[in-house]
Amino acid sequence: MIESCGIGKNMAQSSRIGTAAAVPQPSSGVEQLLLVDEDDRVVGVEEKLAAHRSGALHRAFSVLIYDERGRWLLQRRSPGKYHSGGLWTNAACGHPRPHETTAAAAARRLFEELRFVCPLTFVTKVHYRSPLDHGLTEHELVSVFTGTYEGPIDPDPLEADAVRWIEPEALVRDMAGHPGRYTVWFKKYVAELWPALGRARAP
């Protein structure tokens, strides 16, 4: 699987996802997003898909995980995701629910997607807008968190169909050579937040 992404075995390790037999299914309830202004003040709520169709600015988060060697944990989004399916991205991302703190939501989503927990540290916020597939638009004010983890990973296959650890330099090379393999937001983090993320993972 790593070879198919143009990255040598000595630069990254990959783990295929197992069966979904014991994985809980997601709730069928409608997910509401917090609409915000550019100062991250809540101005309303909107259903998730509707917000991505309208391009309304909403609150979000992303989690980047490193191991003790400084490698980044990537997941490949399940092909069944409502956008960006089959693309490689950071460890977890999502949206806080109404009356949920962003930090609590980041920890919740990391466990829902990859089935592990670890301490998370807030790094910065990123505001971006970008078109997606299926006629959707991502317009988010994102809180970026980082954490360090060593241990088993058992992703929900509805969320990710593969994971891998990768050296930062190998990630930059592969992303430059094959940008279509990665989500738009992850490319933005790597391009614009590299110094801040480097400091975040420093011992």
Counting the structural domains of the chain, the total is: 1
CB-CB neighbours of 76 under 10 Å: 23
CA distance 54 to 100: 23
The string of pLDDT tens digits covering residues 54-87 is: 999 999 999 999 999 999 999 999 998 878 889 9
Q: Mean of the pLDDT values across residues 90-96?
A: 97
Tell me which of 46, 93, 159, 169 is the catalytic residue. 93
Does residue 21 fall inside a structural domain? Answer: no
The string of pLDDT tens digits covering residues 153-172 is: 999 999 999 999 999 999 99
Does residue 56 fall inside a structural domain? Answer: yes
Whether residue 16 is predicted with pLDDT greater than 80 in this model: the reply is no
pTM of the predicted protein model: 0.82
Give catalytic status of residue 93 as yes or no. Answer: yes
Does residue 176 fall inside a structural domain? Answer: yes
Give catalytic status of residue 192 as yes or no. Answer: no
What is the reported pLDDT for 100? 97
Does residue 88 fall inside a structural domain? Answer: yes
pLDDT band at 15 (very low <50, low <70, confident <90, very high): very low
Domain extent for 149: 3-14+31-201
Does residue 23 fall inside a structural domain? Answer: no
Does residue 24 fall inside a structural domain? Answer: no
Tell me which of 113, 138, 140, 159 is the catalytic residue. 140
Does residue 175 fall inside a structural domain? Answer: yes
Residue closest to 163 by CA, chosen among 76, 100, 101, 89:
76
| Residue 61 near residue 95, CB atoms below 8 Å | yes
Does residue 26 fall inside a structural domain? Answer: no
Task: Give the pairing type, strands 42-47 and 32-36.
Answer: antiparallel
- The CATH number for 181's domain is 3.90.79.10
SS3 string, the chain, reads: CCHHHCCCCCCEEEEECCCCCCCCCCCCCCCEEEEECCCCCEEEEEEHHHHHHHCCCEEEEEEEEECCCCCEEEEEECCCCCCCCCCEECCEEECCCCCCCHHHHHHHHHHHHHCCCCCCEEEEEEEEEEECHHHCEEEEEEEEEEEECCCCCCCCCCCEEEEEEECHHHHHHHHHHCHHHECHHHHHHHHHCHHHHHHHHCC
